[in-house]
Structure 1
């Protein structure tokens, strides 16, 4: 070892373990064969890897500082007893740091958060507009009451895995140009948990949870629409090992209404008027959306209102009634009710009705109407052409 190992890594002799690891990561990224495949870089990578192997191990570092051989009894660098964790190389490139003591990641927990659940319900338009409380039957995973979520039969408990000694990982050593490279893989015997359940609970088969149907009460807020999701925290699937439950989402589907259609917070409805009523004007009684609510007699809820039709109302006319729409989901008042008018022309007349209409046409000088032909609107290019060619 002709060159000082501290100089190789670019650290002082009193550098701590974190400084040494940071320096190695920087140099490994610079000289790794995947980045610089030339022979000089490969040799440099071996040197800094060897320096890191010594200085990252307290015993080898102490032997080196005393002037001894840090690989004494180990067959030298790359010998039978030497080698370093492949985790260190991966950390150099991907910034690891979640390793457990000894370079591994440690056993994974049997207890994990459960998945979120989704159910869909149908509500009436009035219920969506003004809110409603529903009882729902849901089928989700719940904690096994027999084992309390542990997964072991009553009176027994999980025991440490003999294969990995509770680490949840086993080491695999491979030879490479770097020497012996050690990689850690999840233990196949315990599936990485570090423990084994010798006597699983017969109720949940060791999972710590069972499926059960239960009843929940959900409050649907006023103003929801199709596609709105109401979140119920921790009411979803209980996790493996009796872990915390996920959330339950209730997705709303609003059923079609016989009178009203909804566009955002606005309601729309269409009324059909006889020709005479449109000409003379009239008053109609229209139901409100509140009429669909089962409030009972004497509740004070307005179930209908009078709509004034002005004389001479044309087919296609609209009336906007402020504040008679749907309440906003996040407040801000109610939308509007838009009433669309369709004027109906009679198709069958008896002789007397036909006679009266002829008299009306004569009084209005409309016996031989010429009609009005309106020119079609010009295209954008047509208007531009006329603008540049006025004559």
Structure 2
């Protein structure tokens, strides 16, 4: 069934953008692992970030509403997907598992409490935070109540900056990291899954140092995908302080084939025949992508521009995987290097 992102954020399926933002603010602040030490809070925090990442994006939300989480992550919106889905992009959604980056991007800081109030952290049993105003945090009014040795101290702030709040610039995302992914025509005939190992830099649990991490990304390649199709894994690049990891993008490339050349959904094969066969006719065996051979009889004169077609022996059409292109046969006519005088005379006499 997959995850119910609406249920995770506690909203209905007809929620608007403001409802989604308000729900994320409320849930993210409640389950932030630096504040909420309960078992399962960190996993809940990650689910909330993933749900917001999908529902706050119109295209992702539209696709999710049609095919659910499993369809979204299995590339159902890629070429060959149901009508009404975005086609041709090669998009397959993968959440990076970096909810802190989503949190920081939303609030403009990894710790909005510290930025606004100069607090040392999100936790502590002596701190209480009330969020007032329909627009929530940031954008509404906030009241910080602290219990100290001299009693209660209350400060109110608005998002207008009149209280001297030190505003930070929201983090920027690093440019996409692109990799060419070469695929054979046989793999494009039926579709395949490529397991790509990446090594990236991640922030250590102490939040101050870095470590290397290996990760396997599964690239689901659909039948007939065109060269240039992009598959994006969001925010799987190196993690850096105060920046959003880059997207990892794999770009489909055609791997050169010893027999065939791709032309859209069609493939082209060049048969070598002699001049005598071109003029007098012959029968040839044409290889196919399935490894079989098809008999092709040539009865008419074949010239260098002659082509023949074997219908349905090409690659699947990306948007119609049950329909295939053609196998186009061209000809490389081998001319003799020399002719005897008697052969020349014979040809002249027959031509005349």
- The structure with the largest strand share of the pair is 2
Instruction: Compute the TM-score of the two structures, normalised by the length of structure 2.
Output: 0.47
Instruction: Compute the TM-score of the two structures, normalised by the length of structure 1.
Output: 0.42
**Which of structures 1 and 2 has the bigger CA Rg?**
1
